[in-house]
Chain A
Amino acid sequence: MPSCQKEKIVIVGAGPAGVSCAAELAKYGITSTLVDEAPKIGGVIYRGPLRQASKLPHLDENLKRAMAALKVRYEHHKQDITLQLQTKVLGPEGESGLLLQTENQLTQIDYTKLVLATGCHERSVPFEGWQLPGVMLMGGMQLQLKSGLVRPGKKVALVGTGPLLPLVACQLHKSGAQVVGVYEASRFSELAKETVALLNKPKLTLSGLSMLAYLKKHNIPFKYGYGIVKAEGQEKLSSVTVAPYDEHWHADLSKAQHLAVDSLGVGYGFVARTQLAMLLGVSHQYTTTNGYVPLLDDNLRSSLNSIFVCGDTNGLLGAEAAIIEGKMAATMLAYEQACLSESTFHTRMRKLKTKRKQTQKFRAGFDRFSALREGLLALTQADTVVCRCEQVKRQQLDLALQQGAKDLSSVKMRTRIGMGDCQGKMCSSYALDRLHAAGHLGTLGVIRPRFPLDPIPFTLLEKNHEAV
């Protein structure tokens, strides 16, 4: 088949957005390379304890259909998609390449057009005692469940916001743990109605009960407008303090409650996974909901002509929107190479944009979950560590702010926040939110994440013969 293709296209992330983009490109006869560090395509929906389940009870019917349709599209166009799984993109290489790491090799790949569909990750919130063994993010909690590490009888509390909270609570209970309480920071009146519907939807895996009904039946307290104050323990977690939150999530300490637990799951939303986009030099803007997100035009093109961004990387959208955005990027790329006519392009793009609008309802619901209220910033004490890797305490950050640091780089230079192994994934959102709260919106500054995004064992380079 004579191809109209002029560009070498690489897509990073084989979640709904990336897979959809690759399949759509193939529809126009355009080949692409799709890279993901995971061993399977599909993205985050298939991670966690639910991965093995052939059914995905946490997804609603629409989404299940959408994911099934995506699989069919992928299978149909497989021959035009070069799939590189278990391949981590470590960052840019030279001026138009990416550095890739597989199990035992370091390689690079060149592109002329790049699509970033890297999704998002959990936001970490420092509070007194957050570093104690036993305190973990919801993702970590799910991992424990999956690996069978949750022993019956274990006492667990969950704090945070969003539908993951009741879901994980149900799963914990099913695997024998004693869930002493679930504390949703938002008040019931603030939840989007789509969310409430999701919480009340019957699930097969819960013997036909909804998540909330399941919790109720098993006497697991689910409290709205409540959240974490602190965690305590000697060597490891032994108790947590929770309290009612006001609408800005400031805790009312006069009504604090203490709970004896061995485990605490924390889930206060997600931040876009934009490290790669930042390393590549794409311009970003700060949002209270998702931290930094790339600045994009109407057709998902970033500030760099050769780079497109779609899916959760561009703010938390949900899987259906991610699928649509993947198509949008592909349509634009096809049009640019003259693989489709101007009028077809406009018609298709218009349709896609209309569909995306419809899915934004879900996003509104999720955004609320991710909107970090200022009260959460007040949970730290002067000596609470706010950067784990470098063991930086809050008072050091306070001092840097007092001394006039108005941007993340100065904060980093003065305190070492973000210089450790996690690359600021954990702490930079706290530092950013503090700078934002201190009114330095104009100067926050983008800090370029470190290259490479993950450490490279020196031995991988021993046999590389690229050296002169």
Chain B
Amino acid sequence: MKQYDVIIAGGGVIGAACAYFLSRDTNLKIALVDLKKPGNASRASAGGLWAIGESVGLGCGVIFFKTLSKLQSEGDTEAAETLRPHQLPECFFELALKSNELYPALHEEMLARHDVDFKFERTGLKFIMYNRDDEIYADSIVSGIPNLSSQIRWLDQQQLREEEPYITPDAIGAIDFICDHQVNPYRLVDAYTEGARQNGVELFLNTEVLDVLREGNKVIGVRTQDQSLHCETLINAAGAWADDIYHQATGKHMPVYPVKGQIVLSERMPKVLNGCISTSDCYIAQKDNGEILIGSSTEEKGFDTTNSLDKITELSQGAMKCLPILKESSIKRCWAGLRPGTPDELPILGPVDGVEGYINACGHFRTGILMSAITGTLITELMTGKPTSVDLAPFRVERFE
């Protein structure tokens, strides 16, 4: 019978990050168990580290924004001015920004120690404005985050043309979030996983956690299709499927559910974008290999991972409007992933009252790539009894009770 200190259920970016940070900073005996289910989020992701952008509802949240902005243009100006952007609470900003700060050093560390490169790129995230409505919206974003003004640049039409010559000349300007960057999300998962493997983590890939083993209120291990694996602590990093594991571990349910996002990817193109782009229709990011990624829809359709012509069309038209040179290219690929959504859009982190040997690391919704570094750090702090770098109270599952 195999015995571990820690078993991590789920090997997406969150599980892999936990495995990496734990194996880097402790001597614990660790196993990572993962079966890639269709729609797993990390490989579906855009790879944006859009700490400010996501916190104010751009990037992946842009579909929310679009509905808001429509409301705005329909209503009178008075009402429009009182409408706020989709801004998340302070604790989310803190988590996002702290995580974001970790990537430059992490990138160098992983390259040097493990010879893996997750393609960290300093890009910024530009919100492109086409008209007065967009300007009003940008204004209200900026006035909502006065403490972050040093991270924001206003670009007028001329400056935008100089910095992003391929963006449509119809754009009237942009705001740029200086500290928002991007990575290659597959490579990030791969880097964490390979780093963890080199640090001695045992990988059980293609392996499903079928049951959680319990003794009273203590979790003691998991059963897979091949064997039982025992542990002192089980970390639940099962993404959109996390409630299954939670239910087995605690007998209760928590509100983590799949939120589908469709993405459109172009063929490789010469470098046409210097930074990541968000408009009111979509976001656009040119990845390290030249492909242009256009995202993303936000749909609650259970575990469905199909693509649909309406969303593909919507995203493509939004992107062609912003970046006309796309008309010379083709869609090479589309896919859909399942974000692990929560009702308040905050992740679910930390232990659970009344249950021993169990920790949540899930519910990262549309920012799991960005939040992976801080999540790995926090879980490691928890496991070693150190004070956590961020107060976990707002993220505990008990908030839903």
Seen from chain A, the residues whose Cβ lies within 8 Å of a Cβ on chain B are 91-95, 99, 106-108, 281, 403-404, 406-407, 409-410, 413-414, 421, 443, 445, 448, 450-452, 455-459, 461-462, 464, 466-468
Chain A neighbourhood of B308, CB < 8 A? 93-94
B259: CB under 8 A from chain A? no
Of the listed residues B310, B320, B335, the one surrounded by the most CB atoms of chain A closer than 10 A to its CB is B310
- Given the contacts A93-B307, A403-B197, A458-B331, A445 and B320 also touching, CB distance less than 8 Å: no
* A466 close to B205 (CB less than 8 A): no
* B206 close to A467 (CB less than 8 A): no
- State how many angstroms separate the Cβ of A415 from the closest Cβ of chain B: 10
Interface residues of B in 94-148 (CB under 8 A from A): none
- State how many angstroms separate the Cβ of B387 from the closest Cβ of chain A: 36
* A467 close to B314 (CB less than 8 A): yes
B309: CB under 8 A from chain A? yes
Task: Please classify how large the interface on chain B is, using the bins under 10, 10 to 19, 20 to 34, 35 or more.
Answer: 35 or more
* A451 close to B333 (CB less than 8 A): yes
* 8 Å CB contact of B267 from A95, A106, A407, A455: A455
* 8 Å CB contact of A455 from B197, B316, B330: B330
* Closest A residue, CB atoms, query B305: A281
* A464 close to B313 (CB less than 8 A): yes
A/B interface sample: 19 pairs, CB < 8 A: A92-B307, A93-B306, A95-B304, A99-B309, A281-B38, A404-B205, A407-B205, A410-B205, A413-B189, A414-B190, A443-B206, A448-B38, A450-B335, A455-B332, A457-B330, A457-B331, A458-B316, A461-B317, A461-B320
- Given the contacts A403-B194, A404-B203, A443-B206, A452 and B306 also touching, CB distance less than 8 Å: no
Chain B neighbourhood of A91, CB < 8 A? 307
Number of A-B contacts (CB under 8 A): 92
* A106 close to B309 (CB less than 8 A): yes
* A458 close to B330 (CB less than 8 A): yes
B64: CB under 8 A from chain A? no
C-alpha spacing A108/B308, complex, angstroms = 9
Chain B neighbourhood of A92, CB < 8 A? 306-307
- State how many angstroms separate the Cβ of A424 from the closest Cβ of chain B: 12
- State how many angstroms separate the Cβ of A303 from the closest Cβ of chain B: 14
- Given the contacts A456-B331, A458-B330, A406 and B306 also touching, CB distance less than 8 Å: no
Chain A neighbourhood of B333, CB < 8 A? 450-452
Chain A neighbourhood of B319, CB < 8 A? 458
- State how many angstroms separate the Cβ of A288 from the closest Cβ of chain B: 21
B36: CB under 8 A from chain A? yes
C-alpha spacing A409/B186, complex, angstroms = 11
* A451 close to B313 (CB less than 8 A): no
B254: CB under 8 A from chain A? no
Of the listed residues A281, A404, A450, A467, the one surrounded by the most CB atoms of chain B closer than 10 A to its CB is A467
C-alpha spacing A421/B334, complex, angstroms = 13
* Closest B residue, CB atoms, query A443: B206
C-alpha spacing A414/B203, complex, angstroms = 15
Chain B neighbourhood of A443, CB < 8 A? 206
* A462 close to B317 (CB less than 8 A): yes
* A466 close to B330 (CB less than 8 A): no
Chain B neighbourhood of A421, CB < 8 A? 267, 332
Chain A neighbourhood of B320, CB < 8 A? 458, 461-462
B329: CB under 8 A from chain A? yes
Chain B neighbourhood of A413, CB < 8 A? 43, 186, 189-190
Chain B neighbourhood of A404, CB < 8 A? 197, 203, 205
B326: CB under 8 A from chain A? yes
Of the listed residues B197, B205, B306, B314, the one surrounded by the most CB atoms of chain A closer than 10 A to its CB is B306
